[in-house]
């Protein structure tokens, strides 16, 4: 059974799926080449919709 390396990218508060551009997939590809016996996967933390008053948005985010 292959070991799995999961790369998780967490952007800043107002960041999104495009925050890291192609870096996650590029890094995963480099690691797949360097570690052929390891399954390399990557995941970008999903974007949380931030709109309106910042204090209200923070409260909604905390509830989420």
What pLDDT digit, counting tens, does each position of 2-23 carry? 899 999 998 877 787 888 999 9
Rounded Cα distance, 13 and 52, in Å: 14
The total domain count for the chain is 1
Structural domain range at position 51: 3-63
- Provide the 10 A C-beta neighbour count for residue 33: 9
- The model's pTM is 0.70
**Is 57 a residue whose pLDDT tops 70?**
yes
Q: Using 50, 70 and 90 to split pLDDT, how confident is the model at 50?
A: low
**Which residue's structure tokens are 């790369």?**
7
Reported as type and span, the H/E element at residue 54 is helix 54-63
> Which residues partner with 9 through β-bridges?
44
Structure tokens at 45: 């933390």
Pick 59 or 9 by higher pLDDT. Answer: 9
């Amino acid at each position: 059974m292959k070991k799995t390396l999961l790369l998780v990218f967490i952007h800043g508060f107002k960041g999104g799926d495009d925050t890291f551009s192609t870096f996650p997939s590029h890094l995963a590809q480099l690691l797949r080449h360097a570690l052929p016996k390891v399954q390399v996967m990557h995941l970008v933390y999903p974007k949380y919709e931030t709109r309106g008053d910042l204090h209200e948005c923070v409260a909604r985010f905390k509830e989420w």
